[in-house]
A and B are shown apart, each in its own frame.
Chain A
Amino acid sequence: MNHESTLETTLDKPSIHPNFFGILAGIWKLTWKSQLTWKKVYGLLSNVLVLPLLSYFAFSSSAPMAQIGGQSNTFYMFTVDFYILLVLPITCLTVFGGMVRDDLQEDTVCFLLTRPMKRWQFFLTKYLSHLAWTQITTALTLLAFALAGTLRGVDDVPNLIFTLLIIQIPAVVVYGAISSLMGLTTKKYLVFGIIYGFVVEFGIGQIPTNINTLAMTNHLKSLLAKYPPLSEHLGVEPGSSLTAVTAIAAVTIVFLVISSVLFTMREYNHSDEMSK
């Protein structure tokens, strides 16, 4: 190689000021860019469209479902009971539980962890980037539901979807925080996440004492109940928004702090991850 040509491209020292927002911008860029491969876009489209399509066809082909409470109730079963309260938490479990482990499995985490940042900053910016991406994909799914509902003549679709678009924000925030701790704690985060869901959300959440406030689903239901048709559908009285939001925020913060401390103390390496 010509030594002169090497010296021609000698690099001036760039001005470098590592900061949280720079880290967030970098991680966000790597996150969304990595989602836009054809293979992942096909997967994303199928995830976004499959449930709205099912809900669309359910009206014409599923008479017994429609008889439960009319078309609107069937639509609520798809959008609220099935999507917001079941599919979305499971989606969060796979996305946030795997957010660090995906880099470990791809064996590219060393390029990130050797950058000038605190480990908690890495973890938190990863969380925020995945949070933004999941909010976008969830919103797209709800918009697809809106289209399906409108085409089938469901009552008051705009207000329903607006409510769900608002509720998805705290839902993804809190389920994401819980899932990210699961992902850092164990390789079998999917199994443990589902067990957690059954025990806390379905189990403790049904106990008719104050302990049921540990179930985030209950707080989300009380927020959903602000929209009267959903209050009737879920059989839940609208609760205090402040209480619900405070509980969700507190759980989110606690889980994120525990995760950040854990990530700061523990080593994560490719060989451990691949040994599962």
Chain B
Amino acid sequence: MRFIKEATIGLLVLFLAALLSACGIGNDSETESSNDSKGTISISGSTSVGPLAEKLAVKYEEKNKVNIEVNQIGSSAGITNATSGVSEIGMSSRDLKEEEKANGLNEVVIAYDGIVVVTHPSNKVKNLTIEQVKQIFTGEVTNWKELGGDDMEIVVVSREDGSGSRDAFQEIVGYTSGELVRSSIVASGNGNIKTTVATNKHAVGFISFEYIDHSISTIKINGVEATAENVLQQKYSLSRPFLFVYKEEHLTNSGQQFIDYILSQEGQAIVSETGAIPIK
């Protein structure tokens, strides 16, 4: 019995020591980096832009002695923070509203996000309006013949709740998660949706631009083809800008340099790496 006690105590001591030293190391490095850094750029806003901003921040921090804090709290909250100066820069995945612009906010488009509606290659429907897309996904239209296709049932394929692409798609098309037709197939990931649509001639789904290939057929929206070019020219409507918004008086030098970095070739390369559409 005594042996157990000793062994337990020994283990505990070891464990605690390890824990303490780990904490110690953590603290040391933290204080070091904050001492060395020239400043902190605080960024908050959209959860869709967030991952991209995080990635850009990590790459930027590798080369520059600056601390970038990215908080993903939603576009509206980010815009409010940028206006009030709580955050130096706000992130938005939607265009600014008139009253938001009136507060003297500057906006910089750092990337675009494009989503395409896809069907089975054999499907005769090649063009839809946003309104028709909405009717399909909310279950108002349930047969392809109502849209000029063959007489067959529509099988809706959607991403899972919480997915950024799904949020974006619903926001642009204009329906909520509660309105999504209940019998829709729910698949996780763009690839999964593509496979499901590619193997079912009844199916319709949506994916990011980068997943487009010959196994599926892409739908034109109001006659406009889903291409990065059309997104950049703002012709293709299933797209949205990723914005950085800021007020002149709150923006520091390092903040301006970070924005310049994102717009540079190097920054835009990272943008296309993450699957968004670069601005040039």
Are A and B a genuine interacting pair, yes or no? Answer: no
Report A's interface with B, CB cutoff 8 A. none
Report B's interface with A, CB cutoff 8 A. none
